Amino acid sequence: MRRPVAHTNVPLLKYAIREIVDVMQYLLEIDPSYVFVRENIGDPIAKGWPVPLFLKQILKEEIYREGDHVFGYCHSRGIPEVRKWIVEYAKRFSPSSTLDYEYVLLTNGLGAAISSLYHMLRPGTRVLQPAPSYPSHSSMEAFAAGADPLFYNLDPKKGWEPDLDHMESQIRRHPEIAGILVINPNNPTGAVYSRRVLSEILRLAEKYQLMILSDEIYFRMVYHGLQHEQLTEMAVGKVPLILMRGTSKDVPWPGARSGWIEFHNVEVDRDYRDYCEAVKKRVLLEVCATSLPQTVISKIYDHPEYESWIRLYSAGLARNIDTIAEILSSTKGLHTNRPDGAFYMMPTFEEGALNSRQTLPIKNSAVRAYIEQQVAQEGMPSDKRFAYYLLAATGICVVPASGFFGPVPGFRITTLERDENILKDTYTRLSRAVTDYLKSS
């Protein structure tokens, strides 16, 4: 008889953003009249944001270029000229950077980068994750480690700033921690970290000789007059720093599956260099990352229209954030921060606001029976319960904060909706649903 084949660490893989899609699918099967407002996935294209026209023109030229090179494989670590351009791009933001193009790796989106980074850690070595987390990081890290993720809390009462005391206590309690993950601007909270916060994280990394892994996929998307503080510039020559950036959000071109890893400060220690080499080797085994997007990365970001495009796109996203924050901040029982970056927001429920008797009216009796059965499951988190009722009663799909290992109950929404009327209607209905749910028992 065949022995069991599925990996024993599978229960550690959690991706609530997509899990709720199955619930939507099931509701549609019961009642095809559902019209869902999908606030679960951060895909600007799905929300109607156009890719800039110049990108399409660049692609057309590249596709028809003689030689058809873009249809073939390319260098396994990424086209050398593109890696050299990435070094130059990094230096635009961090002039003191000593990044070498041999320490840049192109990957199939940051998803692949994340997986490679955690899989090449020595068994037993951990990377401390933020809570709420971005599940690709926390699940991949946990899967590679074969144990639950280790977290430091982000504090909703302080604009979702990292709780540095908690971070330090976790580092002291778990000597197996060799790195800290920072996501800035943050998914799922939309928070943008100040220079003070980053300096403190850097200080802890130096004190405990840790690496910093910095996911900066949203670094061009900072609003309200703030700027993205460059950790690379602050960390030069001090700590092992691994940066992750990509084209999914700020172009936006998520379907390109194109991202990259920058290993900064490789000169600081030998062990860190060994780890960089290990990740390089792992990437080698994947043959190469998608060729076409790589060939156009520099042409996109260097295009004369890119800066005006990112300004326009950012201004639209900042407007959405302001509108949503205004509607939700007046909702009793809910605590809402106004994010300064990315395109997410995570309102939280006030302590004691939720209980296991609250409901929302669901017209279709079969749907109601299904939701009642789902929420009756043992260990059902209180915010997931709310998210299920919200979905079934209004069609608005949010992801519960518990799905991100959030320290307090809440939910994550995206701030991508392009149509102002739909945006206002969605969040007015959401606000009303929160009020009705909280009042229901």
Ligand X SMILES: Cc1ncc(COP(=O)(O)O)c(C=O)c1O
CA proximity to 20, closest of 325, 348, 390: 390
Ranges of H-type helices in 94-194: 109-119, 135-145, 164-173
Distance between CA atoms of residues 245 and 239, nearest Å: 19
Strand (E) or helix (H) holding 272 = helix 270-285
Ranges of H-type helices in 291-419: 291-301, 306-329, 365-375, 382-394
- Helices 365-375 and 16-30, interaxial angle, to 10°? 150
> Given the complex with ligand X, which of 112 and 362 has the nearer CB atom?
112
Distance between CA atoms of residues 49 and 58, nearest Å: 18
Distance between CA atoms of residues 196 and 152, nearest Å: 17
CB 403 within 8 A of CB 135: yes
> Given the complex with ligand X, which of 254 and 410 has the nearer CB atom?
254
> Given the complex with ligand X, which of 254 and 347 has the nearer CB atom?
254
Considering only residues 14, 27, 39, 42, which one is a binding residue for ligand X as defined by CB under 6 A?
42
Stretch that binds ligand X, among 84-92, 93-101, 106-114, 271-279 (CB under 6 A): 106-114
The token pair at 35 is: 């019209």
110 binds ligand X (CB under 6 A): yes
> Given the complex with ligand X, which of 187 and 359 has the nearer CB atom?
187
> Given the complex with ligand X, which of 27 and 321 has the nearer CB atom?
321
CB 201 within 8 A of CB 210: no
210 binds ligand X (CB under 6 A): no
> Given the complex with ligand X, which of 30 and 45 has the nearer CB atom?
45
Binding mask 120-139 for ligand X (x = CB under 6 A): --------------x-x---
Whole-number minimum distance, CB 8 to ligand X, in Å? 26
117 binds ligand X (CB under 6 A): no
Stretch that binds ligand X, among 105-113, 310-318, 325-333, 394-402 (CB under 6 A): 105-113
Whole-number minimum distance, CB 305 to ligand X, in Å? 23
Residue 115: how many CA atoms within 13 Å on its side-chain side? 11
Ranges of H-type helices in 150-236: 164-173, 195-207, 231-235
- The strand pairing partners of 261, in sequence order, are 105, 244
How big is the site for ligand X, counted in residues (CB under 6 A)?
A: 14
Binding mask 176-195 for ligand X (x = CB under 6 A): -------x---x--------
Stretch that binds ligand X, among 107-115, 193-201, 324-332, 395-403 (CB under 6 A): 107-115
Binding mask 254-273 for ligand X (x = CB under 6 A): x----x--------------
> Given the complex with ligand X, which of 106 and 183 has the nearer CB atom?
183
What residues have CB less than 8 Å from 303, skipping those under 6 apart? 54, 58
Whole-number minimum distance, CB 364 to ligand X, in Å? 32
Considering only residues 44, 52, 109, 135, which one is a binding residue for ligand X as defined by CB under 6 A?
109
> Given the complex with ligand X, which of 140 and 328 has the nearer CB atom?
140
Stretch that binds ligand X, among 104-112, 116-124, 157-165, 420-428 (CB under 6 A): 104-112
118 binds ligand X (CB under 6 A): no
> Given the complex with ligand X, which of 245 and 385 has the nearer CB atom?
245
| Sites for ligand X among residues 401-440 (CB under 6 A) | none
215 binds ligand X (CB under 6 A): yes
> Given the complex with ligand X, which of 79 and 112 has the nearer CB atom?
112
Considering only residues 217, 221, 261, 279, which one is a binding residue for ligand X as defined by CB under 6 A?
217
Distance between CA atoms of residues 39 and 25, nearest Å: 15
> Given the complex with ligand X, which of 184 and 431 has the nearer CB atom?
184
The token pair at 150 is: 């280790």
**Count of residues for the chain?**
441
The token pair at 350 is: 């006030």
- The strand pairing partners of 154, in sequence order, are 162
Binding mask 237-256 for ligand X (x = CB under 6 A): ---------x-x-----x--
Please calculate the CA angle 236-237-243 and round it to the nearest 5 degrees.
50
Looking at residue 110, its amino acid is L
> Given the complex with ligand X, which of 215 and 394 has the nearer CB atom?
215
Whole-number minimum distance, CB 136 to ligand X, in Å? 6
User: Rounded to 5 degrees, what are φ and ψ at 406?
Assistant: -65, 145
Measured from each CB, the residue nearest to ligand X is: 109
CA proximity to 193, closest of 185, 181, 202: 185
Q: What is the DSSP string of 356-388?
A: TT-----S-HHHHHHHHHHHTSTT--HHHHHHH
Binding interface with ligand X (CB under 6 A): 42, 109-111, 134, 136, 183, 187, 215, 217, 246, 248, 254, 259
